[in-house]
Structure 1
Amino acid sequence: MAVELLRIGELATAAGVSPRTVDFYTRLGILTPAERTRGGFRMYDRRAVARIAAVRRLEQCGIGLGVIAASLQAGETSPTAVLAGIARDTEALESAAPTGDPATDRLIVAVLERSHHLITTAAELMGVLS
């Protein structure tokens, strides 16, 4: 069965972005064309729609395109190793909380809520991009 490939305009429409956004993401290395036509036109597979949605979600979480592009181009990184580090850090936070200073505690709660949101987003992306 042949894989359905999309032209830039089709991808942009399916993802709800402009063709310029697709071009920009491609130049940054966030998107990679699946192939080129004989005329040199870039063709993308349907997974690019999910990747664009994921990138947009990460941007909404405050993660810049430069960081996203660098992460996608980085060498192998194990989510399991990162999760183990988060678990260790969580244990350290649990043993130190509360600080006794209400203002500091409120700031810590704000940071923890933000990190919870990012971890939830990462879990959702694992389901979408896998």
Structure 2
Amino acid sequence: MALMRIGELAAAAGVSNRTVDFYTNLGLITPASRTTGGFRLYDPATVEQIATVQRLESSGMALDDIAAHLQGAGAADLVTALARLDQDLTALRALAETAAGTAHGLATTLAVRANQLLAAAAELLSTMPPS
């Protein structure tokens, strides 16, 4: 698939050009290359990266924390791990919404605790030196 200009990426990801610029400046996404005129070009996989960043942010993780981890060593592994955590948290939230009685309370408690653990992990990782 061909590389995308900022407007194409923004449209495909359902965000504004400003959001793409903001995420690029924070290091959340990275252009694959530039045109001879200096325009940034993005890999189509960046659409999923934007979606992952937005899900992580909506689950309580600060953009600065997400960016700090993505810029460190093993960033690709971290993106995969964070996406997996995000998927698990989404499934847990769905369970909490559909469960009845005691199961609902348990699933809600687990979802809250998962958010807290994700935030604690992000805080801990931000204080550790890169390996």
Amino acid corresponding to residue 57 of structure 2 in structure 1: E
Give 2:17's aligned amino acid. Answer: P
The corresponding residue for 1:42 is 40
Q: What is the Cα deviation at residue 76 of structure 1?
A: 2.8
In structure 2, stretches of 5+ residues that fail to align are 82-104, 118-131
Give aligned pairs, total.
91
User: What TM-score results when the alignment is normalised by the length of structure 2?
Assistant: 0.60
Larger Rg: 1
Give the one of 18, 21, 39 matched to 1:20. Answer: 18
Deviations 1:42-62 (A, max 9, x none): 000101000000000001101
Matches of 1:11 and 1:118, distance apart in 2: 32
RMSD: 2.9
Offset at 1:32?
0.6
1:11 partner SS: helix
Which runs of structure 1 show a deviation greater than 6 angstroms over 4 or more consecutive aligned residues? Answer: none
Q: Displacement of 1:111 after TM fit?
A: 5.9
In the alignment, residue 22 of structure 1 is paired with which amino acid?
Answer: V
The CA distance in 2 between the partners of 1:118 and 1:50, in whole Å, is: 24
Q: Percent identity?
A: 52
Question: Which amino acid is 1:54 matched to?
Answer: T
Task: Output the CA distance in 2 between the equivalents of 1:14 and 1:30.
Answer: 17
Quick one: distance in 2 between partners of 1:115 and 1:46? 34
Could you say which residue in structure 2 is the equivalent of 1:52?
A: 50
Q: Secondary structure at the match of 1:43?
A: strand
CA distance in 2: counterparts of 1:5 and 1:19, whole angstroms: 16
Instruction: Report if the CA contact (8 A) 1:8-1:44 is conserved.
Output: yes
Using the size of structure 1 for normalisation, the TM-score is 0.60
CA contact (8 A) 2:28 2:66 kept: yes
Cα distance change of structure 1 residues 111 and 72 upon mapping to structure 2, 3 Å threshold: farther
Q: In the alignment, does 2:73 pair up with 1:75?
A: yes
Question: Counterpart of 1:12 in 2: which secondary structure?
Answer: helix
